[in-house]
Amino acid sequence: MSAAGYSAMTGAAVGLVAATAKSVIGVLSGAAFGLQLKSFEVAFDGVTASAVPVLCELCQCTFATQPPGTLSTTVTPVQIYGRVLAAGFTAARDWSTTQPTVITVVKEWLLTPNAGALFYQYPLGQEPDSALSQGFTLRLTAPANVNCRATVSVERM
């Protein structure tokens, strides 16, 4: 069986508020399959060279509260390869006031908001995967207001 790969992107700028953690993009698998994270991207539109870096956290998430579409904007995953299948999972961007739970940080890094960008593709065989009815979020905490855009690419498992 060939794999089916999907991409979920913010599709619009997501505003980060100073010193406030925000889940900017997230994906939640269905009850019949998990998701394997293949890659992610994040980029900022800041223009101040002396700006303090943004804390970026890639997280596994149970979505016990605030699943995609609750206090967030639903996004439609786009199939990028494989046999054509309905995505069967949900995605969203820009959780507003209350963040999804339960979050476990699996990777963290600092990135300059001065037009900083990161594109990361997991090495073959080292991709993290989610349990059924769980998924991933990209959570950012900026010291000052800045906008970002982000994408996650996943495979159904």
Read off the pLDDT of residues 11-37 as tens digits, 9 standing for 90 and up: 999 999 999 999 999 999 999 999 999
* pTM, full prediction: 0.95
Q: How far apart are CA 42 and CA 79, in angstroms?
A: 20
Distance, in Å, from the CA atom of 100 to the CA atom of 21, rounded to the nearest integer, reads 11
Name the one residue in this structure whose structure tokens are 């596994």. Answer: 60
Q: pLDDT tens-digit profile of 48-95?
A: 999 999 999 999 999 999 999 999 999 999 999 999 989 999 999 999
Contact 146, 51 (CB under 8 A): yes
Over residues 92-132, the pLDDT tens digits come to 999 988 999 999 999 999 999 999 999 999 999 999 999 99
